Structure 1
Amino acid sequence: MTIQIIRPADRTAWLAARQQDVTASVAAAVLGAHPYTTPYSLWAEKTGRLPPDDEETEAMERGNLMEPVVVVMIRKRFPEWEVTYENDRAYFRDPARRIGATPDAFVDRPDRAGTGNCQIKSASEDAFKEFWLDADTGEVVPPTWIAIQAICEAQLTGCAWACVALVVITWRGTFQLHIIDIPIHLRLWNRLITKVDEFWTMVASGEEPSPDWQRDGEVVMDVYRDSMPEKRDLTASTELDALVHQFDRARVEAAGAKAVVDQLRPHIIHALGNAEIGLTANWEVSARTTFRSGSQSRVLRVKPRRDLDASF
Structure 2
Amino acid sequence: MTVQILYPSDREQWLKFRQQDVTASVAAAVLGAHPYTTPYGLWAEKTGRVSGDVDETEAMERGNLLEPVAVAMVNKREPDWRVFYANDRAYYRDPDLRIGATPDAFVEIPGRPGRGNMQIKTASEAAFREFWQDPDIGDIVPPTWIAVQAITEAKLTGCDYAMLAVVVVTWRGNLRLHLVDIPLHAKLWQRLTAAVAEFWAMVNSGAEPDIDWKRDGAAVLEVYSNSFLDRRDLSAEHDLDILVGKYKSLKEAEAQAKREADVLKPQIIYALGNSEAGFTAGWDITARTQERAAYEVRPSSMRPLRIKPRKQNNANF
Tell me the TM-score range normalised by the shorter chain. Answer: 0.7 to 0.9
Give the structure 1 partner of residue 83 of structure 2: 83
Give the structure 2 partner of residue 132 of structure 1: 132
Give the structure 1 partner of residue 25 of structure 2: 25
For residues 127 and 179 of structure 1, the distance between their equivalents in structure 2, rounded to whole angstroms, comes to 17
Structure 2, unmatched stretches of 5+, are: 295-317
Change (3 A) 1:84 1:280: closer
Structural mapping, 1:57-76, within 5 Å: 57-76=57-76
Structure 2 letter corresponding to 1:79: P
Structure 1 letter corresponding to 2:147: A
Give the structure 2 partner of residue 34 of structure 1: 34
Deviation at 1:11, TM superposition (A): 1.9
For residues 68 and 264 of structure 2, the distance between their equivalents in structure 1, rounded to whole angstroms, comes to 56
Structure 1, unmatched stretches of 5+, are: 295-312
TM-score by length of 2: 0.85
Structural mapping, 1:115-194, within 5 Å: 115-194=115-194
Deviation at 1:284, TM superposition (A): 4.1
Cα deviation code 1:57-103 (max 9, x no counterpart): 22222222222222222222112222222221111101011110011
Give the structure 2 partner of residue 44 of structure 1: 44
Cα deviation code 1:264-299 (max 9, x no counterpart): 4455555555655554443345556667699xxxxx
Which structure features the higher share of strand residues?
1
Cα deviation code 1:180-234 (max 9, x no counterpart): 0001111111111111111111111111112211111122112111111111122
**Is 1:105–1:118's contact at 8 Å kept on the other side of the alignment?**
yes
Give the structure 2 partner of residue 310 of structure 1: none
Cα deviation code 1:5-61 (max 9, x no counterpart): 101122222111111111000101111111111111111111111112243322222
SS at match of 1:51: coil
SS at match of 1:178: strand
For residues 183 and 293 of structure 1, the distance between their equivalents in structure 2, rounded to whole angstroms, comes to 48
For residues 117 and 24 of structure 1, the distance between their equivalents in structure 2, rounded to whole angstroms, comes to 13
For residues 128 and 48 of structure 1, the distance between their equivalents in structure 2, rounded to whole angstroms, comes to 34
**Is 1:15–1:54's contact at 8 Å kept on the other side of the alignment?**
no
SS at match of 1:49: coil
The number of aligned residues is 294
**Is 2:15–2:53's contact at 8 Å kept on the other side of the alignment?**
no
SS at match of 1:52: coil
SS at match of 2:171: coil
Structure 2 letter corresponding to 1:26: V
Q: What percentage of aligned pairs have identical amino acids?
A: 62
Structure 2 letter corresponding to 1:129: R
For residues 117 and 268 of structure 1, the distance between their equivalents in structure 2, rounded to whole angstroms, comes to 57
